[in-house]
Amino acid sequence: FRSKGGFKDGSFEKKLQRVREANILMLDDIGAEEVTPWVRDEVIGPLLHYRMVHELPTFFSSNFNYSELEHHLSITRDGTEKTKAARIIERIKTLSTPYYLTGKNFRNN
């Protein structure tokens, strides 16, 4: 799911609805990419809120723990927006249980 494109023909909203209402959703490597305030506040926040209210299974993977992810989501070109990032993290915490995986990184062989 990419947010770029699809505004004029309505395909973006259709894609977002499919993601929002999916029986099971996996958000892989959350925090790996830079997130604009618009994506954070108008896409991710409402998406997670919908899934939280409807108690839909939602899974996340990330190299960040909660506090690192919150910091990452708070950074904007204009400074930091800690409150908005905190709201996203609260939704993630409500939707998930953290499991920390440790061990050798096999990607660096």
Decide: pTM greater than 0.85: no
In a domain, 20, yes or no: no
Average pLDDT of the chain, as a whole number = 89
Question: Residue 61's pLDDT is what?
Answer: 95
Can you give the CATH number for the domain in which 66 is found?
Answer: 3.40.50.300
CB 72 within 8 A of CB 31: yes
Is residue 77 in some structural domain? Answer: yes
| Tens-place pLDDT, residues 15-61 | 999 999 999 999 999 999 888 899 999 999 999 999 999 999 999 99
What total number of domains does the chain contain?
1
CA 84 to chain centre: 13
Q: With respect to residue 32, please indicate whether it lies within any of the assigned structural domains.
A: yes
In this prediction, residue 108 has a pLDDT band, given cuts at 50, 70 and 90, of confident
97 pLDDT tier (thresholds 50, 70, 90):
very high
User: For the packed helices 82-95 and 45-53, what is the interaxial angle rounded to 10 degrees?
Assistant: 30
> Is 76 within the bounds of a domain?
yes
Residue 59 within a domain: yes
In this structure, is residue 3 part of a structural domain?
A: no
